[in-house]
């Protein structure tokens, strides 16, 4: 799959932002006044910034309102509704803390769960794709949720929570990669089923339909960088999980180390998301004899 930068930015920053909103909503930290304003501003810049970035890949972003209508079948529609609900609810909760210094606990819990709901609905957009065997697995939503919770806890300065969640996340990601490597093959879709010519013999793409490229090849067939996947996986694990956990576990607390842990985690998650797309193979590539 083509790793579109708008979608990578969305997945990374919205995940962190909604993760932070989840912990804020649950009352793990209860700031008031100006400090509450700063906490919520950070969460909203991440969450909303990511959402805005995601509209950059649309052909007609001006019609985006229509996307709220098909929640009965479409995970993308559910994601949109969930995002608006979570942002509005958390804005009410945040306003209570910033302006009145009161904690509207129930609204916070509802908003926090809805924030996590956004992350879950996002993950299901990918996990539902039968055409991309690597994504169609429980590890996709599990990974999205763990990353969002872990990253959110890291932003919220929760050392124990963040360390535990990031360690779980790292282990889960390694499992997702290893189990995902064989999923295309075991999906049962291959050139023989794609063409229905397997009963004659081995099928090979002889001539493509056109000399140039097309939308499908651009969107679904991506090879550049896959050859560096092993190194990128090591870099991802290092930056997203190992370095932040080590910095958190240092025996003295220091704001610079905390900031470094956050930056390292963000850089790692950006790489992780890039790999999530770049390594995913769509079955349509089979028609072109490519992946």
Interacting residue ranges for another protein, rule: CB under 8 A: 1, 57-61, 63-64, 66-70, 72-77, 80, 125, 128-132, 187-189, 191, 193-197, 199-216, 219-220, 282-284, 287-288
Tell me which H or E stretch contains 283.
none
CB of 28 vs another protein, minimal distance in Å: 32
Closer of 198 and 225 to another protein (Cβ): 198
CB of 158 vs another protein, minimal distance in Å: 34
Nearest-angstrom CA–CA distance, 209 and 123: 34
Choose among 261, 21, 1: nearest CA to 154.
261
CB of 277 vs another protein, minimal distance in Å: 11
Closer of 20 and 132 to another protein (Cβ): 132
Nearest-angstrom CA–CA distance, 191 and 217: 16
CB of 217 vs another protein, minimal distance in Å: 9
Closer of 116 and 129 to another protein (Cβ): 129
Using only C-alpha atoms, what is the Rg of the chain?
A: 21
Closer of 204 and 227 to another protein (Cβ): 204
Closer of 179 and 189 to another protein (Cβ): 189
CB of 54 vs another protein, minimal distance in Å: 9
Choose among 72, 63, 74, 180: nearest CA to 122.
74
CB of 74 vs another protein, minimal distance in Å: 5
CB of 64 vs another protein, minimal distance in Å: 6
Task: Taking the CA atoms of 267, 168, 278 and 51 in sequence, report the sign of the dihedral they define.
Answer: negative
Residue labelled with tokens 């996947």: 229
Closer of 37 and 288 to another protein (Cβ): 288
Instruction: Give the angle 245-251-254 at the CA atoms, nearest 5°.
Output: 80
| DSSP per-residue letters across 56-108 | GG-S-GGGGGGGGS-TTT-HHHHHHHHHHHHHHHHHHHHHIIIII----HHHH
Closer of 4 and 164 to another protein (Cβ): 4
| Dihedral, 210, 211, 216, 219 alpha carbons, nearest 10 | 180
Region label for 188, one of left (φ > 0), alpha (ψ between -120 and 50) or beta (otherwise): left
Closer of 2 and 257 to another protein (Cβ): 2
Nearest-angstrom CA–CA distance, 97 and 183: 47
Choose among 235, 122, 222: nearest CA to 173.
235
CB of 63 vs another protein, minimal distance in Å: 5
């Amino acid at each position: 799959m083509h790793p579109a930068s708008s979608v990578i930015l969305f997945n990374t920053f919205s995940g962190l932002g909604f993760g932070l909103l989840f912990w804020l909503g649950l009352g793990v930290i209860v700031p008031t006044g100006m400090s509450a304003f700063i906490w919520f501003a950070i969460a909203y810049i991440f969450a909303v910034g990511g959402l805005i970035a995601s509209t950059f890949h649309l052909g007609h972003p001006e019609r985006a309102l229509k996307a709220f209508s098909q929640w009965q079948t479409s995970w993308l529609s559910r994601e949109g509704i969930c995002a608006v609900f979570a942002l509005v609810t958390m804005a009410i909760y945040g306003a209570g803390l910033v302006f009145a210094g009161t904690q509207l606990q129930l609204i916070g819990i509802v908003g926090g769960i809805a924030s996590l709901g956004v992350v879950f609905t996002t993950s299901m957009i990918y996990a539902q794709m039968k055409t991309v065997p690597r994504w169609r697995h429980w590890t996709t939503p599990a990974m999205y949720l763990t990353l969002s919770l872990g990253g959110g806890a890291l932003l919220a300065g929760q050392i124990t929570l963040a360390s535990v969640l990031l360690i779980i996340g790292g282990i889960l990601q390694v499992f997702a990669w290893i189990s995902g490597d064989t999923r295309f093959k075991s999906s049962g879709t291959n050139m023989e089923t794609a063409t229905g010519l397997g009963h004659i013999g081995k099928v090979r793409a002889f001539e493509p339909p056109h000399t140039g490229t097309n939308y499908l090849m651009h969107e679904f067939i991506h090879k550049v960088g896959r050859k560096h996947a092993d190194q990128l996986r090591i870099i991802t694990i290092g930056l997203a999980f190992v370095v932040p956990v080590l910095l958190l576990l240092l025996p003295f607390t220091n704001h610079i180390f905390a900031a470094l842990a956050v930056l390292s985690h963000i850089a790692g998650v950006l790489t992780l998301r890039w790999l999530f797309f770049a390594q995913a193979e769509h079955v349509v590539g089979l028609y072109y004899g490519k992946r």
